Amino acid sequence: MRKGGHKLLGLAALASLMLIGGMWAAWTQEITAGNEFMPGTYETSLDEKFTPPTDWSPGTEQEKRVRISNKGTVPVMAKAVITQSWIRREDVYATRLNASGDVVQEPVAPFKGEAFPLTFQTDEGEEYASIPNFNKNAVVLLDSGKTADSSLSLGLSAVSTVDAARGKWLLLNEVPDAKGQYTLYYMGIIEPGSSTPEFLESVTLNRKLGRTITGKETRFIKMEDGSTKKVTIDSVNAEFGYDSAKYTMDIKGSTVQATKAAVEEIFGTGDETLAYLAGQVAESGIFESAEVKTLKFEESNGRMVYVPYRSEEGAETGNWFMSFTDMVPGGIYKDKLSIENASKKKYRLYAQVVPREQDTVKAQLLDLITMKVYYQGTLIYDGKATGASLITEEGLNRAVPLGTYASGDKGVIEVELSLDPTLKLGDGRSEKYAGVLTKVDWKFMVTEVKAPDGGGSDNPGKPDHNTVVTIPDSPVPAGDLTVIEDSPVPLALIPKTGDTTPLIPMIATVIGSGIALLYLAERLRRKKED
């Protein structure tokens, strides 16, 4: 009985050890790499040098220098629209004879609040009431927009193709359109901290502008009784009378991120100029990291190492995978990680995305970044940068097998990121994300594979779902106990790391084993007493 009791005790103890060992099975090695993402700050301005004149008289040139500056951290592209107007501020009355021959005071058109035309007729032809003086070194005109009327020419150089305007402002129409507008596009990229050339230098009021009432005219009117009446009426200059009028030049600049998608969405694609801006001037919107990253098992001891290790002063140190700052909405950001087993050992590799604890805005921003992960050219994940999949219930927040690596095997992980294209970094809704740095960790784990033949993989770098972790032998007390040989204990498909061990089942198992041991010991004691 004593010997049989010892056998039962040994079985219970060994079973307990095996269960506990299975629960505590950990990775052979693990390593963490940080990732950081930050939208750029978007800030542009229309810079103007202009002092409103107190007495702007015809023939006078007034300095008005205008350019667009980029004060943010992302490249931009620019458009400018110049709108001119002449509005009558108050009615101007003229003394006239009505149809009955009576002298009356009548307002002269245009009336209060109404607009004057931007051009008027002179002996030399049609001329501008106000003449914008563009920077002839920085502004060119499309041949298609050139006027045939020499009196309305702005004196700008004309180009036959849009490509010839690269690096300059391109004026689409020499004569203002029906809305009184000039439209210009800057045919280049405005880098952070830089400005466009000035596209406007000054404005001149036409010297031929005059007053509505130009003088008095005396007339003699024959009355019904045969007498003659002398009257004085006003001479009216209907063409040149721009007095009691307010001249306004309104300039609006608009900018977009310098990507093809942004140009097409904001500026449009309606003509040759816009198509050229989007296709030939703007950036593709695809940005690839030039830095080489490697996950390697060292030759000497098989230790897993990650390169590079960031140690810049003032920056978070450690292993770093993706680092993309100044991201623009809709941009695609690519990076890759090479994997190499230079050791004589064999490993199974797993990856997991581990979000960090960070404030609400940073967490929200991370949720606005989509991510695709390719392993050996095959898409294995499509979801958010947080690791939450958009396709399946399980994403990268659990350990995902990447394959088995025998000695000499190599592989590659490729990642594509995209910041939500609906964001506009300069508007109220999206402004809170500009310049915000959010982070997420990637964890890489391996289990060493003890191949019976010591050989390598027949299928290098391919996922292997038949994962088996071998539990090492535990010492058994000497005596007349029956020895039970260990066998490989199959675990879950994805082994769990030590920090994800299910503690409650483990504790329950330990307690249950302890109770069983106490029960057996008590039975043995009573049998001995009997």
Eight-state DSSP code of residue 259: B
Q: How far apart are alpha carbons 208 and 294 in whole angstroms?
A: 75
**Residue keyed to tokens 């931007």:** 118
Among 214, 430, 447, CA closest to 350: 447
Helix (H) or strand (E) holding 522: helix 503-529
Structure tokens at 462: 């391919």
Q: How far apart are alpha carbons 349 and 304 in whole angstroms?
A: 11
Among 38, 334, 326, CA closest to 191: 326
- Answer for the pair 105, 225: CB distance below 8 angstroms, yes or no: no
Mean pLDDT of the chain: 83
Strand partners for 96: 104
**Residue keyed to tokens 């994962």:** 467
Among 252, 257, 335, CA closest to 292: 335
Q: How far apart are alpha carbons 322 and 31 in whole angstroms?
A: 15
- Answer for the pair 309, 23: CB distance below 8 angstroms, yes or no: no
CA angle 78, 80, 86 (to 5 degrees): 170
Q: How far apart are alpha carbons 63 and 61 in whole angstroms?
A: 7
Helix (H) or strand (E) holding 307: strand 304-307
pLDDT in tens, 312-330: 877 889 999 999 999 998 8
Q: How far apart are alpha carbons 97 and 530 in whole angstroms?
A: 146
- Answer for the pair 343, 395: CB distance below 8 angstroms, yes or no: no
User: In the prediction, which pLDDT does 15 show?
Assistant: 44
Helix (H) or strand (E) holding 261: helix 260-262
User: In the prediction, which pLDDT does 494 show?
Assistant: 32
Structure tokens at 167: 């690096």
pLDDT, greater one: 336 or 478: 336
Phi-psi sector, 165: left (phi>0), alpha (psi -120 to 50), beta: alpha
Q: Is the peptide bond before 308 cis (omega within 30 degrees of 0)?
A: yes
Amino acid at site 113:
G
**Residue keyed to tokens 């490993």:** 347
Which residues make Cβ contacts (< 8 Å) with residue 273, sequence separation at least 6? 142, 162, 170, 172, 185
* CA dihedral (459, 463, 468, 471) positive or negative: positive
Q: Which of 227-241, 352-366, 384-398, 465-479 has the lowest mean pLDDT?
A: 465-479
pLDDT at 132 over 90: yes
* CA dihedral (324, 394, 503, 28) positive or negative: negative
- Answer for the pair 141, 79: CB distance below 8 angstroms, yes or no: no
User: In the prediction, which pLDDT does 119 show?
Assistant: 93
Calculate mean pLDDT across residues 401-416.
96
pLDDT, greater one: 341 or 476: 341
Q: How far apart are alpha carbons 38 and 437 in whole angstroms?
A: 5
Which residues make Cβ contacts (< 8 Å) with residue 93, sequence separation at least 6? 105, 106, 107, 108
pLDDT at 20 over 90: no
pLDDT in tens, 171-218: 999 999 989 999 999 999 999 999 999 999 999 999 999 889 999 999
Calculate mean pLDDT across residues 16-21.
41
pLDDT at 493 over 70: no
User: In the prediction, which pLDDT does 226 show?
Assistant: 81
Q: Which of 212-216, 432-436, 502-506 has the lowest mean pLDDT?
A: 502-506
Calculate mean pLDDT across residues 470-487.
34
Calculate mean pLDDT across residues 334-362.
96
Domain ranges of the chain: 2-23+474-529, 29-41+285-448, 76-281
Q: How far apart are alpha carbons 471 and 489 in whole angstroms?
A: 7
| DSSP per-residue letters across 62-108 | EEEEEEEEE-SSS-EEEEEEEEEEEEE-S--EEEEE-TTS-EEEEEP
User: In the prediction, which pLDDT does 465 show?
Assistant: 39
User: In the prediction, which pLDDT does 239 show?
Assistant: 76
How far from the centroid of its chain's Cα atoms is residue 61's Cα? 43
Antiparallel, parallel or unpaired: β 29-39 and 318-327: parallel
Residues in the chain: 530
Q: Which of 372-386, 391-405, 422-436 has the lowest mean pLDDT?
A: 422-436
pLDDT at 158 over 70: yes
User: In the prediction, which pLDDT does 313 show?
Assistant: 75
**Residue keyed to tokens 């041949």:** 143
Eight-state DSSP code of residue 356: P
Confidence of residue 510 (pLDDT cuts 50, 70, 90): low
pLDDT in tens, 85-114: 999 999 999 999 888 778 899 999 999 999
Among 192, 198, 143, CA closest to 169: 198
Structure tokens at 61: 């040139």
Buried b (16+ CB within 10 A) or exposed e, 273-285: bbebbbeebbbeb
Eight-state DSSP code of residue 280: I
**Residue keyed to tokens 């979000």:** 355
To the nearest 10 degrees (0 to 180), the angle between helices 2-23 and 503-529 is 170
